Structure 1
Amino acid sequence: MSRYRRTPGAIDNDRVKVAFSEERSGCLVEGRDPGWPLLEEVQSHEAHVAKFTTIFSDFTLYWTFFMPLHRAYTGPRRKLLLALDVGTTFPAQEQISGASKIPTIVLYNRQGEVKAVGAEAISEDTLVEAEKRGWLKAEWFKLHLRNNINERPNIAEEIPPLPKGKSAVDALADILRYLFTCSSDYIQDTDVNGRELWLTLKDDIHFVLSHPNGWEGLQQDSLREAAVLAGLIPRDHSGYSRLSFVTEGEASLHFAVQNGLPSGVIERQEGVVIVDAGGGTIDISAYQRHPQKERYSEISVPQCHFHGSTFVTVNARKWLSKFLAKSPYRTDIENIVKCFDSTTKHRFKDENVPQFVKFGSNRDNDPKCNIVRGRLEIPGQTVSEWFAPSVLCIIDAILQQKKAGLSISHVVMVGGFACSEWLCERVKRCLTPLGLSVFRAETHVNKAVSDGAISFYVDRYVSSRISRYTFGVYLHDLYDPTNPEHIKRIRTKILYPDHEERIPGLFSVILPKVDELTEFRLAVSQSHQSKAHFEDIFSTVSCYLGDNVSSTMWKDVEGKLYRDLCWIKANVPIRPQRCAKGRGKNRQYFFRVDYDIVLLFGLTELKAQIAWKEKGVEKRGPANIVYMPNDRTFFQLFACDANKYSQFPG
């Protein structure tokens, strides 16, 4: 039996989830057994426990699942929540469930105009038109936004280039606009008063966009810009407040919680690893439930690996290019790859059985290359080798967490790539002997992220997260002639406007790599001879990628493990203090401001504030975070003088 809970009016699409928050609480339970109450009939919001049967490969496993209720909506008026999951591509495995997947493809004409998006872009008529008119295809563009931390070797050569004149943000904006239009049409067409309903909701929609675990603030900025270009939100603070981000790993946890977790996770607080195997990335996250409350803590740094189902296709293309190099069918490689991707890949189960790719007619034959009657025969062992990097990636990542001493007993696999029987069976075969129970969610694993994104916003099951890096700022330490560290760096000594000598390059930690949900702050002072220089406040935030965190850290030690992350920019009404140094003719004046950098790490994106004192009372103001690509500096972005600001401990 299968019970799946949806909020009233939910759009059942794997890329778009829409939830209408009603004035009354409660949801419908589909496929319920006689005697099992509707949620409207449940008076309390305690969890129900039910027995479920999960089919995994050739085995039938019996689990006790924990399925909590959604929190009741308490807002003053009806509101629309829209979760959008823009995947790298749609894995062919997802066709098994019968779900209609919207391909992440945009076709442009030579003038850069959008001609087709999604399913329309791969229809036979459109493909003929595209070839005739020379339209350009944008696909896999999500991978162009990746950061280069833990990057897959040669990934830039493996992903298709973007059409000339188009950026990844442009393509994202176009497909977000398309998904938004689909959502609007669906609501207006299916509700009795759809048009009137949409007019009352459209200007106050809250959007949740999902992204891989490995994405950081720079990539979130790109998503935000795409949402603005797509017309989802305006380019102001009110618009930005209607947009939330969630990692695919955390969204998948919420999906797993809503669809049932093993009793060991609930009753004995055993750790669980969520493996979101998607088209482009495999995202791995680990959580543990708090005793006596329905909240979860992240227990390891989330991981993101470029070994999704797309790269199985990449491996297939490489093999086929060599194997068919001397065949007359070498010009059909792209068609063969397409046929493999849509059929053979998601049906593959046994490495001992030859696999066939049907790509042509009965007249297509090349016995030397195993092509008979339009079918290419490929050894099952060869196909298993194309999957091997993805399988090993999942196993290695989980074993690393076990070796780190984490209390992990369960592995939940979700995502479109998790529909692959071969992938799941190999992972299960390797991990089960080590005491790990591996199972795949029964209900719509290819919709885990979009479903989970709704639950993320409504339920907020995760109460604490682990920072990926150690965040901090570089300070200029007051020179101490007896300090051995200062003596080592005496050549870097600088005289500042307050006539104090300081040593630059001291890294002061704001946010440790591992910590609970809270805010972190560091007192900072800046001085300059001109008051006008403090109209805007700038402070750099850097990060340390290593593990040797201490109270005294210098940038020139393990220098390759430090990188600038962002600048904190604020326009706040701090009054610079006029200060004096020296006496008589040697007396010189300068200006100084004292403030705290406040980092708010509790949400899925980093936020910052500036705090200062006025007459003994703390004031706070908003701060913008300006993220820097690794190959560019703040001064290149803003064309300002690097010597304009000095920064030292307050």
Structure 2
Amino acid sequence: MPSTPRRSPRKLASSQGTVIVGIDFGTTFSGVAFTWSNQVDKIETITSWDADSSDNTDECKTPTAMSYDPGNEVTWGYGIEPEKEQLKWVKLLLLNDEDIPEEVRTSDKIKKAREYLQKHNKTAEEAVTTFLRHLWEHSIDCITKSISRVMVNYAQFHIVITLPAIWPSYAREKMKLAAEQAGMLDKRMGVETQLTFISEPEAAAIATLADMEGRFDVKDEDTFVVADCGGGTVDLISYKLIQAEPMIVKACVKGSGGLCGAVFLDEAFKDVLKSKFGKKWEKMEESNRRDMIRNSMEPGIKRNFKMGSDKSYNIRIPFECLLAKERRVTGAQGLPTVTIAPEDVKTAFDPVIEKINNLIDGQINAVKEKERVSPKYVILVGGFGRCNYLYDRVDERFGMEVEVLQAKGAKPWTAICRGAVIHAATQSGIGKLSVQVKTRVARASYGICWNEPWDSRRHDPEDKYWCDIEQKYYARNQMAWLLEEGDDISAQEPTSRSIKQNFDRNGPMRTPEDEEIFQTNIFPPPTRWDPEVIKELCSIKWETVIDPYTLPKFTNRIGRVYGELLYRCEMTCSGESVGFAIYRDGKKEGSKSVKVDYNTR
């Protein structure tokens, strides 16, 4: 009797098995979570990192750090030997200088990152691509071991990368290009990989709200402020619960954020140590300074210090810093120490936490103004969000009005990558975990620059010009906004505007003029073009050649015949992804007809 043949793995592709991967590419640490078809209510987090020591292999995140060895070989994450020079903070270098706050732009960490790139003849984009490639290869290896090589080879992959909400659009396009060049979007047995983006605070909020699903104290109309406190950025977002089961929420006010994460606490603590050590600080090797900050801050002060604590911390002075007479007595008495008192710790903490509290205060006030009620909870997430002293100071300021929540363990630290997975699963309509964001609030205004029929009551005289084709006056360089900052953005309903271009009906065949999309953070947005505050987001390039003779015919008042190309520019929003498309005669123009090029400057 012949044996039953094994089913061809190619049939798996036709069943559209799905693997969803959420990537939190952070300033200081990066994490990856994943799930797959039929198991989407079970989200796994990548661990098993290659590490210089065995202590960190099962951490749920890895340092966003790299080291270029001779021959251009790369070590990364926990695999870097502690004493080696390494590249950190490279994520922030994807931003243009004018978009980096001065105190960050002039910091030692940014300066060292730039010097490291220059020394190794690399750009920030190249370094980010290299890090993502190593992160992705390790993740794929772990996913393969977990769900099988067949699933990885033949399933549809959906990758969701999280981005700071305060990032400009060009930085998102740089991340997209880096992901492509890192091989993340390579076809798997002919199946296209889908890439989308979501803001870090939205992803963190989705994971946090999913963890709260089914609680009796969570009711329709409740509002929440989620503060995602990470290594570099602190982002806040506020939601109103429309429906508790299944959970549907809407963003109720514009999010906010700033560069006031944990790395700024490290910088402040370094200043405290520098003042305590005095001249001995200058004698110390950089590796000893770095180890001192890491060993005293991470496991002890940053996580465990609490408000009202009277605990002091004794830090040993390295032998190299001792004077000759101090070295002679060291053998008998041991290395002398410097004492860091509670007041010293507060000196480092308080300026950073004050900035975070001010951001939270702004969100709470915005929610109260919009919804006429205080938020029910302020929820702290992110790596820095686990800090006891941060909780104490936030609760001290707002606890009488709003309850402050802070989960323990790995959940706050992995909220972003887990939330990215839940977001994609919800969008796909698969799995039990579901938090649907019905509407978001626009953080910028998006629009087009066009020529409007002249109106002396509205337009500037210097914009007036005569159109020979239509034989009437127009106002040039007027802004038509598809979406304005603060507007509610429906996750389902796109926004659009009709546009026309005129052609000489007896003229040659040609492609239509490109359509440029602009954005601004000035509110209210300007009504006319201003290059100082309005920046190009992308350009929609026509690839189609138009025969003017086939266009609808119009005749002006002096008998000249012309053709009119009428089309619609449509804008869609999903998470942090903003998409544009052209519709003509009710049909969407395909990629062979129009191409969208995003500005990465």
Aligned-pair CA distance for 1:258? 2.5
Indicate the residue corresponding to 1:594 in structure 2.
Answer: 566
Aligned-pair CA distance for 1:625? 3.7
**Residues 484-495 of structure 1 mapped to structure 2, 5 A cutoff:** 484-486=457-459, 488-490=460-462, 493=465, 495=467
Counterpart Cα distance in 2 of 1:465 and 1:279? 25
Indicate the residue corresponding to 1:88 in structure 2.
Answer: none
Indicate the residue corresponding to 1:305 in structure 2.
Answer: 258
Indicate the residue corresponding to 2:62 in structure 1.
Answer: 102
Q: Does 1:438 align with 2:400?
A: no
Counterpart Cα distance in 2 of 1:367 and 1:295? 69
Q: 3-state DSSP class of the match of 1:438?
A: strand
Superposed CA deviations along residues 420-441 of structure 1, whole A, max 9, x for unmatched, are: 11112111111102x1000112
Aligned-pair CA distance for 1:602? 4.0
* Change in 2 beyond 3 A, CA 1:364/1:544: same
* Change in 2 beyond 3 A, CA 1:443/1:320: closer
Aligned-pair CA distance for 1:304? 2.4
Q: 3-state DSSP class of the match of 2:524?
A: coil
Q: Do the aligned residues in 2 keep the contact of 1:207 with 1:243 (CA within 8 Å)?
A: yes
Aligned-pair CA distance for 1:309? 0.4
Q: What do you get for the CA RMSD once the two structures are aligned? A: 4.0
Counterpart Cα distance in 2 of 1:579 and 1:442? 68
Counterpart Cα distance in 1 of 2:180 and 2:214? 41
Q: Do the aligned residues in 2 keep the contact of 1:228 with 1:235 (CA within 8 Å)?
A: no
* Change in 2 beyond 3 A, CA 1:216/1:377: same
Counterpart Cα distance in 1 of 2:507 and 2:266? 60
**Residues 62-461 of structure 1 mapped to structure 2, 5 A cutoff:** 99-109=59-69, 113-121=72-80, 123-124=81-82, 127=83, 130=84, 137-146=86-95, 151-158=100-107, 159=110, 160-161=113-114, 162-164=116-118, 165-189=121-145, 194-201=148-155, 204-234=156-186, 242-260=194-212, 266-291=218-243, 293-321=246-274, 324=277, 326-327=279-280, 329-332=282-285, 335-344=288-297, 345-346=301-302, 347-350=304-307, 352-358=310-316, 360=318, 364=322, 373=335, 375-404=337-366, 405-406=369-370, 407=373, 408-433=375-400, 435-444=401-410, 445-460=412-427, 461=435
Counterpart Cα distance in 2 of 1:12 and 1:511? 28
Q: 3-state DSSP class of the match of 1:484?
A: coil
Aligned-pair CA distance for 1:149? 7.9
**Normalising to structure 2: TM-score of the pair?**
0.77
Q: 3-state DSSP class of the match of 2:232?
A: coil
Structure 2 unmatched runs, 5+: 1-17, 25-29, 48-54, 428-434
Residue identity opposite 1:526 in structure 2? Q
Q: 3-state DSSP class of the match of 1:403?
A: helix
1:540 pairs, out of 492, 499, 516, with: 516
Aligned-pair CA distance for 1:522? 0.8
Counterpart Cα distance in 1 of 2:255 and 2:98? 13
Aligned-pair CA distance for 1:114? 3.1
Indicate the residue corresponding to 2:583 in structure 1.
Answer: 611
Identity among equivalent pairs (%): 18
Aligned-pair CA distance for 1:527? 3.3
Structure with greater contact order relative to length (CA < 8 Å, sep ≥ 6): 2
Q: Do the aligned residues in 2 keep the contact of 1:466 with 1:516 (CA within 8 Å)?
A: yes
Aligned-pair CA distance for 1:594? 1.8
Counterpart Cα distance in 1 of 2:186 and 2:23? 27
Aligned-pair CA distance for 1:277? 0.7
Q: Do the aligned residues in 1 keep the contact of 2:21 with 2:158 (CA within 8 Å)?
A: no
**Normalising to structure 1: TM-score of the pair?**
0.71
Q: How many residues align?
A: 531
Residue identity opposite 1:436 in structure 2? V
Aligned-pair CA distance for 1:214? 1.4
Superposed CA deviations along residues 355-385 of structure 1, whole A, max 9, x for unmatched, are: 33346359847999xx992533334323323
Superposed CA deviations along residues 101-134 of structure 1, whole A, max 9, x for unmatched, are: 31111111365x232111111x25xx4xx5xxxx
Residue identity opposite 1:213 in structure 2? A
Residue identity opposite 1:450 in structure 2? C
* Change in 2 beyond 3 A, CA 1:354/1:186: same
Q: 3-state DSSP class of the match of 2:279?
A: coil
Aligned-pair CA distance for 1:603? 4.1
Aligned-pair CA distance for 1:275? 0.8
Indicate the residue corresponding to 1:473 in structure 2.
Answer: 448
Aligned-pair CA distance for 1:599? 0.5
Counterpart Cα distance in 1 of 2:292 and 2:507? 67
Q: 3-state DSSP class of the match of 1:99?
A: coil
